[in-house]
Amino acid sequence: MTPVADHGFDVYSPRQVASRVNEFCIAKARMPLLTLAMLGMLAGAFIGLGALMFALVTSDASLGFAASRLLGGLGFSLGLILVTVAGAELFTGNNLLAMAWASSHVTTRDVLRNWVIVCMANFVGAIGLAVLVWLSGHATMNGGAVGTTVVAIATAKAGLSATDAFFRGILCNVLVCMAVWMGLAGRSLMDKAVAIVFPITAFVAAGFEHSVANMYYFPLAILLGAPLGWDDIARNLGLVIAGNLVGGSVLVALVYYTIYLRPAAREADRAATSISTKEPG
């Protein structure tokens, strides 16, 4: 597949990105169990590292509100860059499998298998990182302000209303899946990093909810002594996961499927290509 010259950049066109996403999703749906689970655990740890960076930056009380949120969001971008470049399976990004499902290239069972395994593996990886961070004493940095910030973040997340948690989950994964989508338009490491940083910084700065990041914050906060109940945690994760699914699967994957990959759209594209390549006269 070659880049489109009329864009003026060495990138894939939106239509080509749709085909690439579809191909990637087919491969993800058919991935062996052990590979899928291990890559899922890596993704949980990678997103946890991004969450760690956010807590570290926002623990600095000398930063203003906007600067703290923007710099924290920039630090959080590390997580998705690691997932994309180093290779890992992230539940929120894999919500794009809905595109391959709508194209009838994978079955409902294939999609649900991937989502369930990857989500569980992400949780294991995030918990594993939380334990390592706790044992390292990282939370004592800045006079203990880092640990205090983690506890405050987790407590605030557990206290969100059902409406807030669900809709913040939707908005979060629209931006996450757009970051994944645009990353696939790039051909170099720099292309991918630039495409990822802005949407991820935006969702984090805006306070939207990422289910896998929460899977890191909650266990670490509990280890640090936060009075959180597992029922509150399960409630938050259930609502945020549901919101993430709607945001990524419906508002990104199915929208782009309708635009570029549904049969009528493909026929129109072939017709337009045929007309444009005909000799004049």
| pLDDT tens-place string over residues 188-205 | 889 899 999 999 999 999
Give me the number of domains the chain comprises.
1
pLDDT given at position 4: 44
| pLDDT tens-place string over residues 212-259 | 999 999 999 999 999 998 899 999 999 999 999 999 999 999 999 999
222 touches 147 (CB < 8 A): no
Q: For residue 46, is it within any domain?
A: yes
Phi, psi of 46 (to 5 degrees): -65, -45
CATH code, 90:
1.20.1080.10
29 touches 100 (CB < 8 A): yes
Residue 157 CB contacts under 8 Å (≥ 6 apart), including other chains: 165, 209, 214, 217, 218, 236
pLDDT given at position 266: 61
Q: What is the DSSP letter of 210?
A: -
Q: With a cut of 50, say whether residue 281 has pLDDT above it.
A: no
Q: For residue 228, is it within any domain?
A: yes
Q: For residue 30, is it within any domain?
A: yes
Q: For residue 1, is it within any domain?
A: no
Q: With a cut of 80, say whether residue 8 has pLDDT above it.
A: no
- As a whole number, the mean pLDDT across the chain is 92
pLDDT given at position 278: 54
Q: For residue 123, is it within any domain?
A: yes
| pLDDT tens-place string over residues 48-71 | 999 999 999 999 999 999 999 999
Residue 156 in 3-state DSSP?
A: helix
Q: For residue 109, is it within any domain?
A: yes
pLDDT given at position 74: 97
| pLDDT tens-place string over residues 115-156 | 999 999 999 999 999 999 999 999 999 999 999 999 999 999
Instruction: Report how far residue 149's alpha carbon sits from residue 94's, in angstroms, rounded to the nearest whole number.
Output: 30
Mean pLDDT, range 23-45, rounded to an integer: 96
Instruction: Report how far residue 139's alpha carbon sits from residue 131's, in angstroms, rounded to the nearest whole number.
Output: 11
Hey, what are 270's tokens? 């072939």
Residue 88 CB contacts under 8 Å (≥ 6 apart), including other chains: 39, 40, 42, 43, 46, 82
Q: What is the percent of the chain with per-residue pLDDT over 90, rounded to a whole number?
A: 85
Maximum Cα–Cα distance for the chain, whole Å?
79
The pLDDT-based confidence of 171 (bands split at 50, 70, 90) is: very high
Q: For residue 224, is it within any domain?
A: yes
Q: Which domain holds residue 172?
A: 11-266
Residue 23 CB contacts under 8 Å (≥ 6 apart), including other chains: none
Q: How big is the chain, counted in residues?
A: 281
Q: For residue 272, is it within any domain?
A: no
pLDDT given at position 1: 43
